[in-house]
Protein backbone atom coordinates (compact mmCIF):
# COMPACT_ATOMS: atom_id res chain seq x y z
CA UNK A 1 0.00 0.00 0.00
CA UNK A 2 1.47 3.35 -1.08
CA UNK A 3 2.09 5.96 1.57
CA UNK A 4 -0.11 9.07 1.55
CA UNK A 5 1.75 12.11 0.25
CA UNK A 6 2.35 15.15 2.35
CA UNK A 7 0.52 18.34 1.52
CA UNK A 8 2.32 20.74 -0.83
CA UNK A 9 2.56 23.19 2.05
CA UNK A 10 4.53 20.72 4.16
CA UNK A 11 6.71 19.66 1.23
CA UNK A 12 7.57 23.31 0.63
CA UNK A 13 8.42 23.66 4.31
CA UNK A 14 10.80 20.70 4.04
CA UNK A 15 12.54 22.34 1.07
CA UNK A 16 12.72 25.72 2.81
CA UNK A 17 14.23 24.29 5.99
CA UNK A 18 16.79 22.32 4.00
CA UNK A 19 17.94 24.85 1.40
CA UNK A 20 17.26 28.11 3.23
CA UNK A 21 17.62 27.07 6.85
CA UNK A 22 20.46 24.55 6.20
CA UNK A 23 19.01 22.17 8.77
CA UNK A 24 19.77 18.46 9.02
CA UNK A 25 17.28 15.78 8.08
CA UNK A 26 16.80 14.94 11.74
CA UNK A 27 16.02 18.56 12.62
CA UNK A 28 13.60 18.89 9.70
CA UNK A 29 11.84 15.67 10.73
CA UNK A 30 11.38 16.97 14.29
CA UNK A 31 10.07 20.36 13.18
CA UNK A 32 7.65 18.95 10.58
CA UNK A 33 6.77 15.94 12.77
CA UNK A 34 7.51 13.41 10.04
CA UNK A 35 10.03 10.59 9.78
CA UNK A 36 13.61 11.11 8.59
CA UNK A 37 12.94 8.56 5.83
CA UNK A 38 10.12 10.76 4.52
CA UNK A 39 12.35 13.84 4.63
CA UNK A 40 15.06 11.97 2.72
CA UNK A 41 12.53 10.81 0.13
CA UNK A 42 11.27 14.32 -0.67
CA UNK A 43 14.75 15.83 -0.73
CA UNK A 44 15.88 13.08 -3.09
CA UNK A 45 12.91 13.76 -5.39
CA UNK A 46 13.58 17.52 -5.31
CA UNK A 47 17.24 17.04 -6.17
CA UNK A 48 16.34 14.65 -8.99
CA UNK A 49 13.83 17.19 -10.37
CA UNK A 50 16.29 20.09 -10.06
CA UNK A 51 14.17 21.90 -7.48
CA UNK A 52 15.77 24.08 -4.82
CA UNK A 53 14.80 27.14 -2.81
CA UNK A 54 13.32 29.67 -3.31
CA UNK A 55 10.79 28.16 -5.68
CA UNK A 56 9.99 30.01 -8.92
CA UNK A 57 7.10 32.43 -8.33
CA UNK A 58 5.17 31.10 -11.30
CA UNK A 59 5.45 27.45 -10.17
CA UNK A 60 2.02 26.24 -9.09
CA UNK A 61 1.35 23.49 -6.58
CA UNK A 62 0.14 21.24 -9.38
CA UNK A 63 3.31 21.74 -11.41
CA UNK A 64 5.46 21.15 -8.32
CA UNK A 65 3.64 17.89 -7.66
CA UNK A 66 4.11 16.75 -11.25
CA UNK A 67 7.84 17.41 -11.09
CA UNK A 68 8.24 15.66 -7.76
CA UNK A 69 5.96 12.76 -8.67
CA UNK A 70 6.17 12.29 -12.45
CA UNK A 71 3.66 9.89 -13.98
CA UNK A 72 4.95 6.36 -14.58
CA UNK A 73 5.54 5.49 -18.22
CA UNK A 74 5.63 2.15 -19.98
CA UNK A 75 9.44 2.13 -19.82
CA UNK A 76 10.97 -0.56 -17.60
CA UNK A 77 11.71 0.55 -14.05
CA UNK A 78 15.32 1.11 -13.12
CA UNK A 79 16.84 -1.55 -10.91
CA UNK A 80 16.84 -0.66 -7.24
CA UNK A 81 20.27 -0.05 -5.70
CA UNK A 82 21.49 -3.20 -3.99
CA UNK A 83 22.55 -2.71 -0.35
CA UNK A 84 26.21 -3.16 0.54
CA UNK A 85 25.71 -6.39 2.46
CA UNK A 86 29.39 -6.77 3.30
CA UNK A 87 29.19 -3.41 5.09
CA UNK A 88 25.98 -4.54 6.84
CA UNK A 89 27.64 -7.77 7.97
CA UNK A 90 30.77 -6.02 9.27
CA UNK A 91 28.71 -3.38 11.12
CA UNK A 92 26.55 -6.03 12.81
CA UNK A 93 29.67 -7.94 13.78
CA UNK A 94 31.57 -4.89 15.06
CA UNK A 95 28.65 -3.45 17.07
CA UNK A 96 27.13 -6.66 18.36
CA UNK A 97 27.45 -5.49 21.97
CA UNK A 98 25.56 -2.28 21.19
CA UNK A 99 22.43 -4.08 19.90
CA UNK A 100 22.82 -2.80 16.36
CA UNK A 101 19.96 -4.28 14.30
CA UNK A 102 19.10 -4.81 10.64
CA UNK A 103 16.29 -2.30 11.08
CA UNK A 104 18.74 0.50 11.94
CA UNK A 105 21.02 -0.38 9.02
CA UNK A 106 18.02 -0.53 6.70
CA UNK A 107 17.01 2.97 7.80
CA UNK A 108 20.53 4.16 7.02
CA UNK A 109 20.26 2.53 3.58
CA UNK A 110 16.89 4.17 2.93
CA UNK A 111 18.23 7.58 3.84
CA UNK A 112 20.83 7.14 1.11
CA UNK A 113 18.46 5.45 -1.35
CA UNK A 114 14.83 6.49 -0.67
CA UNK A 115 13.64 4.42 -3.65
CA UNK A 116 15.49 1.34 -2.43
CA UNK A 117 14.17 -1.92 -1.04
CA UNK A 118 11.64 -2.01 1.77
CA UNK A 119 12.58 -3.60 5.08
CA UNK A 120 11.15 -7.09 4.46
CA UNK A 121 12.88 -7.44 1.09
CA UNK A 122 16.07 -5.97 2.54
CA UNK A 123 16.11 -8.71 5.19
CA UNK A 124 15.39 -11.48 2.67
CA UNK A 125 18.21 -10.33 0.42
CA UNK A 126 20.61 -10.09 3.34
CA UNK A 127 19.75 -13.59 4.63
CA UNK A 128 20.25 -14.96 1.12
CA UNK A 129 23.64 -13.22 0.85
CA UNK A 130 24.63 -14.40 4.32
CA UNK A 131 24.07 -18.07 3.38
CA UNK A 132 26.84 -17.79 0.78
CA UNK A 133 29.46 -16.79 3.37
CA UNK A 134 32.35 -19.17 3.90
CA UNK A 135 32.63 -19.11 7.67
CA UNK A 136 35.94 -19.84 9.30
CA UNK A 137 37.19 -19.61 12.86
CA UNK A 138 39.86 -16.94 13.17
CA UNK A 139 42.17 -17.07 16.16
CA UNK A 140 44.49 -14.21 17.02
CA UNK A 141 47.70 -15.16 18.79
CA UNK A 142 51.42 -14.52 18.80
CA UNK A 143 53.71 -16.67 16.70
CA UNK A 144 54.64 -19.88 18.50
CA UNK A 145 52.12 -19.24 21.27
CA UNK A 146 49.73 -22.05 20.31
CA UNK A 147 50.01 -25.53 18.91
CA UNK A 148 47.17 -26.90 16.78
CA UNK A 149 46.66 -30.66 16.84
CA UNK A 150 44.50 -32.89 14.68
CA UNK A 151 44.12 -36.65 15.01
CA UNK A 152 42.48 -38.84 12.39
CA UNK A 153 41.82 -42.57 12.15
CA UNK A 154 40.90 -44.87 9.29
CA UNK A 155 43.32 -43.39 6.74
CA UNK A 156 44.26 -45.60 3.82
CA UNK A 157 47.99 -45.33 3.11
CA UNK A 158 49.59 -47.19 0.21
CA UNK A 159 53.11 -48.60 0.53
CA UNK A 160 54.92 -47.44 -2.66
CA UNK A 161 57.14 -50.55 -2.62
CA UNK A 162 54.51 -53.24 -2.10
CA UNK A 163 51.39 -51.42 -3.30
CA UNK A 164 49.57 -52.66 -0.25
CA UNK A 165 47.04 -50.35 1.39
CA UNK A 166 47.07 -50.22 5.18
CA UNK A 167 44.60 -48.54 7.49
CA UNK A 168 46.61 -46.16 9.65
CA UNK A 169 46.07 -43.28 12.00
CA UNK A 170 47.58 -39.82 11.64
CA UNK A 171 48.69 -37.29 14.22
CA UNK A 172 49.29 -33.77 12.82
CA UNK A 173 50.54 -30.66 14.54
CA UNK A 174 51.10 -27.11 13.36
CA UNK A 175 52.70 -24.20 15.15
CA UNK A 176 50.44 -21.14 14.92
CA UNK A 177 51.64 -18.41 12.51
CA UNK A 178 54.67 -20.53 11.51
CA UNK A 179 54.73 -22.75 8.46
CA UNK A 180 55.96 -25.63 10.62
CA UNK A 181 54.13 -28.93 10.43
CA UNK A 182 54.81 -32.28 12.01
CA UNK A 183 52.84 -35.32 10.82
CA UNK A 184 53.23 -38.93 11.90
CA UNK A 185 51.28 -41.99 10.82
CA UNK A 186 51.06 -45.22 12.80
CA UNK A 187 49.13 -48.49 12.45
CA UNK A 188 47.45 -48.30 15.82
CA UNK A 189 46.99 -45.91 18.72
CA UNK A 190 47.73 -46.45 22.36
CA UNK A 191 47.98 -44.09 25.31
CA UNK A 192 51.76 -44.50 25.34
CA UNK A 193 52.05 -43.73 21.61
CA UNK A 194 49.85 -40.64 21.90
CA UNK A 195 51.90 -39.48 24.87
CA UNK A 196 55.06 -39.85 22.80
CA UNK A 197 53.55 -37.89 19.91
CA UNK A 198 52.51 -35.13 22.30
CA UNK A 199 56.04 -34.87 23.69
CA UNK A 200 57.34 -34.58 20.12
CA UNK A 201 54.96 -31.67 19.64
CA UNK A 202 56.39 -29.80 22.61
CA UNK A 203 59.85 -30.51 21.24
CA UNK A 204 58.74 -28.85 18.02
CA UNK A 205 57.73 -25.77 20.01
CA UNK A 206 61.12 -25.69 21.70
CA UNK A 207 62.90 -25.89 18.34
CA UNK A 208 60.75 -23.05 17.10
CA UNK A 209 61.65 -20.88 20.09
CA UNK A 210 65.32 -21.57 19.43
CA UNK A 211 65.03 -20.64 15.78
CA UNK A 212 65.86 -24.19 14.70
CA UNK A 213 62.43 -25.36 13.56
CA UNK A 214 62.94 -24.74 9.85
CA UNK A 215 62.85 -27.88 7.77
CA UNK A 216 61.20 -30.02 10.42
CA UNK A 217 58.43 -32.20 9.05
Reported as a single tens digit per residue, the pLDDT across 17-61 is 998 888 988 899 999 998 888 888 888 888 888 888 888 888 888
Strands 147-158 and 165-175: antiparallel
Reported as a single tens digit per residue, the pLDDT across 141-179 is 566 566 666 655 555 566 677 767 665 555 566 665 555
Higher pLDDT, 45 or 190: 45
Q: Which of 212, 149, 154 is nearest to 187 (CA)?
A: 154
pTM of the model: 0.36
Domains of the chain from N-terminus onward = 8-68 (1.10.10), 85-130 (no CATH), 147-209 (no CATH)
In this prediction, residue 12 has a pLDDT band, given cuts at 50, 70 and 90, of very high
In this prediction, residue 1 has a pLDDT band, given cuts at 50, 70 and 90, of very low
Amino acid sequence: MAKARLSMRKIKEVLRLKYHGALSRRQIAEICQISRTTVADYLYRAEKAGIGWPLPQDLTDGELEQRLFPAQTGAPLAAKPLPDFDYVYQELKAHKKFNLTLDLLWREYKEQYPDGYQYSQFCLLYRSWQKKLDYCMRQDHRGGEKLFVDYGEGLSLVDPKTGRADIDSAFCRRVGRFELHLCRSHPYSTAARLDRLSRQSFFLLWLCSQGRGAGLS
